[in-house]
Amino acid sequence: MSTTDTDTNAETVLYASPAAASGPKWVETPVAYDGILLAGFGGPEGQDDVIPFLRNVTRGRGIPDERLEEVAHHYRHFGGVSPINQHNRELKAALEEEIAKRGLNLPVYWGNRNWEPYLEEAVTEAAEAGDTTLIAIATSAYSSFSSCRQYREDYARVLEATGLGETVTIDKVRQFFDHPGFVTTFVRGVTDAVSAFVAKGIAPEKIRVLFSTHSIPTADAERSGPRDVDFGEGGAYAAQHKAVAAFVMAEVAAAVADVEWELVYQSRSGPPTQPWLEPDVNDVIAELPGRGAEAVVIVPLGFVSDHMEVLWDLDTEAMEAAEEAGIKAVRTPTPGIDPAYVSGLIDLVEERLKGTPKAERPSLTDLGPWYDVCRPGCCENIRAGFKPVAAGLRP
């Protein structure tokens, strides 16, 4: 990266611990956190929840219920229940087990952005228990407005709304897209899938690996990551995914065979006139037979668990696309509560507890280790403008 490790004109970071308040890229001073804030997206847990949930997701955009119902059928297909809340219950329990195993005294408070339990409840519960120095883990590994900055806006909004901004601080772990605990699960899944196809007599040159992630508006992608680094087309968001995919496929090549791969996108929403990241996973699958492919490995690289975008967009629509194309398909697992992933998340917390120097932090790509304190202008939402954020330098 071209950025330096210090900023001479850094502004104070809102709602931060003293060690992070001046905005160092990597906080190398130990911080005595007394609680973990597990921040999730949230999801409906019944048919009556679906439209209110989608109103929360799209608040401020003036989308009528008739249009929301077009998306609601994904949830209604599964009884109106998103698996994401149950996953976060399981993840919270797994984190607590790992914390106890390490002898750490850190309660985990779980709150969502868009559905119960809300972040306001989690932060209030922590404060009432006397836990006021929090380290946040958002259930998203990459850098973009929706996967990082919007969570940081939520932290600031909640502290303001609850009146706890004078007593509670919220830092965040670094974006963990290239942490070994996260990446290991994908290496294992892709290696197993390619090996299984080869064992069935499919030649490696007939196999394709598609790394799929959530599409986002092209303008948001271009503004992902710090403003003083050129990450190329798609900004830091695309660059991070491509770097992780390249690492995974190098491991697969060493273990099994060299296989062609590409990064694809899914779950596009918004008006057709607005450019979003492409190509779409289903469009690419349809083209694979013409490229000589007989089998496809679909990797949910942008997702930490089997939530609706995985169950519907990949397990339903992408599998249907593969069947229509006449090729074999398999979808690899998400990290979920894999022990390596859970352990890796607590490793990230311990980095900040101990003030681990940047040079000693594990990362599997040249882009990492990512910043502890987000840089000015990072992941701007050009439609809504800059809002107050925690865990990052202003704006």
Binding-site residue positions: 82, 151, 214, 309
Whether the Cβ atoms of residue 373 and residue 13 lie closer than 8 Å to each other: yes
Give the torsion through C-alpha atoms of 9, 11, 12, 16, to 10 deg.
-100
The rounded distance, in Å, linking the Cα atoms of 27 and 340 is 24
Q: Which residues are documented as binding site for Fe(2+)?
A: 214, 309
The answer to whether the beta carbons of residues 27 and 355 sit under 8 Å apart is yes
CA angle 363, 302, 140 (to 5 degrees): 70
Residue 92 contacts residue 37 (beta carbons within 8 Å): no
**Dihedral, 175, 181, 185, 188 alpha carbons, nearest 10:** 130
Nearest-angstrom CA–CA distance, 20 and 316 = 44
Binding residues for Fe-coproporphyrin III: 82, 151
Give me 342's structure tokens: 């859970």
Closest CA relative to residue 300, chosen from 314, 320, 288: 314
3-class DSSP assignment, residue 112: strand
